Amino acid sequence: MSENRLGARQVELEVLRYNPDSDEAPRYQRYSVPCKNEWCMLDALNYLKDNIDPTLAYRWSCHMQVCGSCGMMINGEPKLACKAMVRDYEGVIRLEPLAHFPIERDLVSVADDFMDKLKRVKPYLIPGKPKTIEEGEYKQTPEQMQRYRKFSMCINCMLCYAACPEYGLTKSKFIGPAAITLAHRYNLDSRDGGRDERQEEIAANEGVWECTFVGACSDVCPKHVDPAAALQQVKVASTVDWYLEHFMSWSKK
Amino acid sequence: MEIIKTDVAIIGAGGAGLRAAIALAQADPKIRIALISKVYPMRSHTCAAEGGAAGVVKPDDSYEQHFHDTVGGGDWLCDQDAVEYFIHEAPKELIQLEHWGCPWNREPDGSVAVRPFGGMKIQRTWFAADKSGFHILHTLFQTTLQYPNIQRFDEYYATDLMVDDGRCQGLTAIEMKTGQMRRFQAGAVVIAGGGAGRMFPFNTNGAIKTGDGMALAYRAGAALKDMEFVQYHPTGLPNTGTLLTEACRSEGGVLLNKDNYRFLQDYGMGPETPLGKPELKTMELGPRDRVSQSIWHEIQKGRAVKTPWGDCVWLDMRHLGEKTINERLPFVRDICISYLGIDPVTEMVPIRPVAHYMMGGIHTDINAATSVPGLFAAGECACVSINGANRLGSNSLVEILVFGHRAGIEALEYARGQKPGNDAALATQGDVAQAKLRELFMRNVGKESISGLRKEMTDTMGEGVGIYRTQEGLTETCDKLADLRRRYADVALHDKTNVYNTDLLSALELGSMLDCAEAVAVSGLERKESRGAHQRLDFPARDDSKYLKHSMAYYKPTERPRIDYRDVVITTSPPGVRDYSGAKK
């Protein structure tokens, strides 16, 4: 709680502006915002919107790193604006919408592709053995839960897609880190029996094989979900599947 | 205007809206469900709930005890038939979520683990570390993805309900991406639009919690019930208002004044319990209203910790140790470090009470039906009266499930009995809604700014409708809000773009908040007693002879709301004394 957290300084923001109604191409606009050192980038944006320019568009809600709304590029890196602290930046700070997604307006990205990909991997429990409510809960030991817990922490902020070179290169054909991680999360769940259904999607072309293991997804993940680890595990499991199918078909599991 | 015809329209895709959608989809795969939300479902504020969800499941627990904790916790303003239904459905809903994949914490044998929570006599709070709401929301959202008849309209802002022939038949909404208005014609409408905490200057709520759902119903003639009951959560970060879950205390954290004294023992919640061994329903595990009020008194007595962000008290979790904090409260640790630069493993955290939750909301009966036929409501926007004058932590995450489910089923039942609406009449209503919006959009002469009016609103709410209230303060706030509502007609937009116009959205949200705020302040002014979260310095006692009643606020376009009263449903528990002095038992 040192006093310099309350210190203030003038921060120069260079913000991408794009209005599809009137702009042919995106442009940058410079703002000078009086910021406190304890502020996150979202506080700076909110100050800007309330006091300087009400026309700037960006998404935000929880201001506590859990709703996943305020993902954007800050000096070229995908970040949550509510997690990036102003005091960690010097000089002019450049704010842009998340890379690899079309721009809807200003800092707002079009999320349709991401939403579609999430849905494609069937990210819900497909019970191995269906149970009625009266039969009570499935037993799942802490160890069993530990296998997938980390992968269930994804807040769908899309930072990993903005960081993923493969998603950028394949013109977003690659199904991407968060979706595969979510599929893997359910595959690892002791209550689930839906792996085969999901495999069709994630082991297909543009599924897991497109990943080149740069690891950028895990580096930028604000929740330490580690999608790269999930992708690696899925690849290994898919390879095992392939061998089982092609060389050991006589072994009939 | 594009028309979307659907069987049931749901406004809001947080926990309650999603649960309603699943209930509908499962009840009949052929019906059409329109799930309309101003944000993508995962952004809904359910995600920010941390502590957990209460349901009777362990052998040492009973429905009766959950009932008494809830009714007493609500200072007898709960409708006891609704509470009865709620507590019986709670475990079923929690098991259902478990079957859908929710990663509840577990005991070593694989059964679901429970943790203690404020005001609860037995440990009955199911939890997923300190991210319970997040996991509930995502589990529900992901579950909806398997139902093709749930059609989502993400980033659509509902502007008006359409009521024709004496029943609600749909709504108009703006598609944010294009700025175009759409007309949803439906056999029934469910509102699950969340709370309105953003009307307060210091609150735990996300930006989206602007009371839009409440305002929609209110303007359409439904009553807002018990709006004066606003929950102040005891432990907010002093600068940002970010919530530190009650689980901080249920895991053993303690509250200290500047002299490192556990002051709760001076406010009927003692004697002191051993450090790190929290006892149920006493000291730090008292109910939120009492704990927040004690902090207020402590500050008045000059025993506060002075911080650059105002007067605070300490939340001390150091004795829990790093392992427990990482295991049970990892998010709390992250948040304290991020926003305050304080690590709760090694330092005490300054906290102060923060506006958190609306006990009040759209009046519904036990079937989630509002007083407008065809209109249902569930979740924080609704008031089915299970929370009374003070909600117990971990009841609301269950409320969204139990009554979200019920609202879905009841809305379907209702919609099935209806004939198709009168297209011409609904078209006219759509045109009126659009004209109103266009007027706001095109207005050039306005001299009021959105952020300016919003600031004046939050300031007056903070001053007049805080933890303790007076006739004078409430009167001033009521007058101020009436003035702000007048001036709102003069608000001007700077942004004249169709695509994702957040200037327009902010203006509409401000309109919602002003209407809700007035219902809060006027209901508070009229309630001349102290009960639960509504504390009057000028009327310090509970007055069952006059006010064992629900306040009902009815909208008036240019005047203060009309306040009426409605009897509380008492079945088995007559009003008694709330006792949180553990050792006396």
Whole-angstrom CA distances from B382 to A8, A75, A251, B19, B205 are 42, 43, 59, 15, 17
Question: What are chain A's domains?
Answer: 3-109 (3.10.20.30), 112-251 (1.10.1060.10)
Q: How far apart are the first and last CA of chain A?
A: 61
Strand pairing class (A108-109; A103-105) = antiparallel
Interface test with A, best of B497, B498, B501 (most A CBs within 10 A): B497
Domain for residue B377, yes or no? no
In this complex, the residue of A59, A106, A127 whose CB is nearest that of residue B99 is A127
Task: List pLDDT tens digits, range B494-511.
Answer: 999 999 999 999 999 999
CB contact under 8 A, B99 and A133: yes
Query: Which residues numbered 76-95 in A keep a CB inside 8 Å of some CB on B?
Result: 83, 85
- Residue B262 neighbours by CB under 8 Å, 6+ apart: B254, B255, B256, B272, B283, B284
For B173, the token pair is 């909404």
- Strand B361-363 and strand B349-358: the pairing is unpaired
Closest among B364, B379, B365, B361 to B13, alpha carbons compared: B379
- pLDDT, one tens digit per residue, over B261-276 is 999 999 999 999 999 8
Could you tell me the CATH number of the domain that includes residue B257? Answer: 3.90.700.10
What CA–CA distance (Å, rounded) separates B555 from B518? 10
Q: B106–A141: do the CB atoms touch at under 8 Å?
A: yes
Residues of chain A with confidence (pLDDT) below 70: 1-4, 248-253
- Chain centroid to Cα A167, Å, comes to 12
Pairing label, strands B230-236, B53-54: unpaired
- Euclidean distance between the first and final Cα of chain B, in Å? 65
Mean local confidence (pLDDT), B461-476: 98
Q: Where are the alpha helices (DSSP H) in chain A?
A: 41-51, 112-120, 142-149, 159-163, 165-169, 177-187, 195-202, 216-220, 227-247
Asked if residue B405 has pLDDT above 90, the reply is yes
Chain A nearest-CA distance from B219, in A, is 25
**Length, in residues, of chain B:** 585
Question: How many Å apart are CA B173 and CA B191, to the nearest integer?
Answer: 13
Asked whether the beta carbons of B551 and B227 are under 8 A apart, the reply is yes
Q: What is the pLDDT of residue A249?
A: 59
What is the DSSP-derived secondary structure letter of residue B387? S
Q: Cα-flanking dihedrals φ and ψ of residue A67, to 5°?
A: -85, -20
Q: Name the residue in chain B with its Cα closest to that of A114.
A: B40
Q: Quick one: how far is CA B8 from the chain centroid?
A: 23
- Rounded to a whole number of angstroms, the distance from the CA of A137 to the nearest CA of chain B is 6
Instruction: Decide if B249 is catalytic.
Output: yes
At residue B181, the 3 state secondary structure works out as strand
How is B220-240 classified by DSSP, letter by letter?
A: TTPPEESTT-EEEEEEE-TTT
B79-98 residues touching A, CB cutoff 8 A: 92, 95-96, 98
Integer Cα distance of B236 and B354 in angstroms: 6
Residue A34, strand partner residues:
A10
Is the residue at B339 inside a domain?
Answer: yes
What Å distances lie between residue B565 and B128, B187, B359, B372, B547, CA to CA? 39, 30, 16, 18, 9
Among B26, B37, B39, B43, pick the best mutation site for testing chain A contact (most A Cβ within 10 A).
B43
Name the domain count of chain B: 2
Q: Is the separation of the CB atoms in B430 and B390 below 8 Å?
A: no
Instruction: Inspect the interface and report whether the beta carbons of B308 and A85 lie closer than 8 Å.
Output: no
B484 — phi, psi (to 5°)?
Answer: -65, -40
Q: CA separation (Å) from B44 to A82, A153, B49, B262, B470?
A: 16, 16, 11, 36, 34
Nearest CA to B506 among B190, B262, B198? B198
**Can you give the pTM of this predicted structure?**
0.97
Helix (H) or strand (E) holding B487: helix B471-488
The span from the CA of B575 to the CA of B548, in Å, is 9
Q: Read off the pLDDT of residues B288-319 as tens digits, 9 standing for 90 and up.
A: 999 999 999 999 999 999 999 999 999 999 99
Q: Which residue of B has its CA nearest to A131?
A: B99
CA nearest B350: which of B316, B301, B303? B316
d(CA B524, CA B305): 30
Contacts of A133 in chain B (CB under 8 A): 92, 95-96, 99
- The answer to whether position B490 is within a domain reads yes
Domain hosting B454: range is 444-567
Q: Which of B66, B233, B328, B531 is catalytic?
A: B233
| Residue partners of B412: CB distance under 8 A and separation at least 6 | B7, B8, B23, B24, B27, B28, B31, B188
Name the percent of chain B lying above pLDDT 90: 97
Q: What's the alpha-carbon Rg for chain A, to the nearest Å? A: 21
B351 and B457 in a common domain: no
Q: Do the beta carbons of residue A107 and residue A95 sit within 8 Å? A: yes
- Say yes or no to pLDDT of B424 above 90: yes
Number of H helices, E strands in chain A: 9, 7
Does residue B511 lie within any of the structural domains? yes
Whether A1 sits inside 8 A of B342 (CB atoms) is yes
Cα B412 to Cα B241: distance, rounded to the nearest angstrom: 39
Angle in degrees, CA B161, B166, B169, rounded to 5: 40
Across the strands, what pairs with A127?
A192
Phi, psi of B336 (to 5 degrees): -60, -40
Whether the Cβ atoms of residue B162 and residue B72 lie closer than 8 Å to each other: no
Rounded CA-CA distance B150/B33 in Å is 5
Find residue B233's DSSP bridge partners. B354
Residues B19, B32, B66, B249: which is the catalytic one?
Answer: B249
Q: What ipTM is given for this predicted complex?
A: 0.96
Q: Which residues of B touch A41 (CB under 8 A)?
A: none
For residue A212, give the amino acid letter.
T
- C-alpha–C-alpha distance, residues B551 and B521, integer Å: 12
Considering the domain boundaries, does residue B454 fall inside one? yes
pLDDT score for A2? 47
Confirm or reject contact between A25 and chain B (CB < 8 A). Answer: no
B350 and B456 together in one domain? no
Name every chain A residue with its beta carbon within 8 A of the beta carbon of B194.
none
pLDDT score recorded for residue B585: 46
Q: Report yes or no on B263 lying in a domain.
A: yes
Question: How far apart are the C-alpha atoms of B413 and A226, rounded to whole Å?
Answer: 45
- State the nearest Cα–Cα gap between A157 and chain B, in angstroms: 9
Q: Which positions in chain B touch A6 (Cβ < 8 Å)? A: 308
Q: Which residue, B356, B387, B415, sits at the end of a domain?
A: B356
Report chain B's mean pLDDT, rounded to a whole number: 97
In a domain? residue B146: no
Assess if residue B572 is contained within a domain: no
- Please give the structure tokens belonging to residue B434: 């659009």
pLDDT of B101 strictly over 50: yes
Q: Taking CB atoms and an 8 Å limit, are A58 and B106 in contact across chains?
A: no
Cα A216 to chain centroid distance, Å, stands at 11
CATH number at residue B521: 1.20.58.100
- Strand pairing partners for B231? B357
Quick one: which H or E segment has residue B349? Answer: strand B349-358
Q: Is A148 on the interface with B (CB under 8 A)?
A: yes
Is the alpha carbon torsion for B281, B282, B284, B286 positive or negative? positive
Last residue of a domain, one of B328, B356, B384: B356
B290 a catalytic residue: no
Regarding whether B449 and B343 lie in a shared domain, the answer is: no
Q: Do A57 and B502 touch (CB under 8 A)?
A: yes
A60 to chain B, closest Cα gap in Å: 7
Q: What is the percent of chain B where pLDDT is above 70?
A: 99
Give Cα separations from B585 to B64, B287, B579 (angstroms).
18, 17, 10
SS3 content of chain B, % helix, strand, coil (to 5): 40, 20, 40
> Does A140 sit within 8 Å of B106, measured CB to CB?
yes
Contact A108/B at CB under 8 A: yes
